[in-house]
A and B are shown apart, each in its own frame.
Chain A
Amino acid sequence: DAGVTQSPTHLIKTRGQQVTLRCSPKSGHDTVSWYQQALGQGPQFIFQYYEEEERQRGNFPDRFSGHQFPNYSSELNVNALLLGDSALYLCASSPGVGRGLSGGGKQFFGPGTRLTVL
């Protein structure tokens, strides 16, 4: 059973460009969350997707957008890249979070995509 997968592993872009990152959740998981992790810091919550809709959003500008597909996979899009967007972008999947299950939600993280903006 494959865990959470992300692509690409590394990406280099220049300021002003747009980027799309992809995530496939763990089998059986229907909820996907995206995090940004700057060097030396902990992950910061960007947003969460369930049933193809953005359910919750952290403190990130509208340049960050996403999408979830019927097979539960997800994309993270970042427009008008800034130097400060350079980070490790993590995708995490959860089982049944969107169905209101209790337990706080246990997340399974992918290996991340390292984005460098020059």
Chain B
Amino acid sequence: LAKTTQPISMDSYEGQEVNITCSHNNIATNDYITWYQQFPSQGPRFIIQGYKTKVTNEVASLFIPADRKSSTLSLPRVSLSDTAVYYCLVGNLTSGSARQLTFGSGTQLTVLP
């Protein structure tokens, strides 16, 4: 079971870059790393997914070292609307490990003006 560990909370200021790191020491070979954002009383929203090295899309970057035992979500120039809980999820929906998908407690990011 690929358990994940994230900081419970982080504070930042508008316009800054925010990096949230997730540890997943026993990640399996076919596991992917996926990050989700969740606002209160809403379902999680997909941010980015990767397997190794670096992935970038229009909203974030994901850095994964060669050993894949951790990953870092990078949010460039955050705004107040980025205040939310961020979850790191390790697993693979397409394989039998989907039943092990556990979001953990997530990281509460608070962006201050």
**Which residues between 1 and 42 of chain B lie within 8 Å of chain A, taking CB atoms?**
31-34, 36, 41-42
Interface check B102, CB cutoff 8 A? yes
Interface check B98, CB cutoff 8 A? yes
**Of A14-22, A69-77, A78-86, A105-113, which stretch is located at the interface?**
A105-113
Interface size on A, residues (CB 8 A): 35
- What size tier do the contact residues of chain B reach? 20 to 34
Interface check A87, CB cutoff 8 A? no
**Of B45-53, B59-67, B68-76, which stretch is located at the interface?**
B45-53
B-binding residues in A (CB < 8 A):
4, 31, 33, 35, 40-45, 47-48, 55-58, 88, 90, 92, 94, 97, 100-112, 114
Contacts of B31 in A (CB 8 A): 104
**Chain B 94-112, CB within 8 Å of chain A: the 1/0 string?**
1010111111111000000
Given A42-B104, A103-B32: A109 and B93 within 8 A (CB)?
A: no
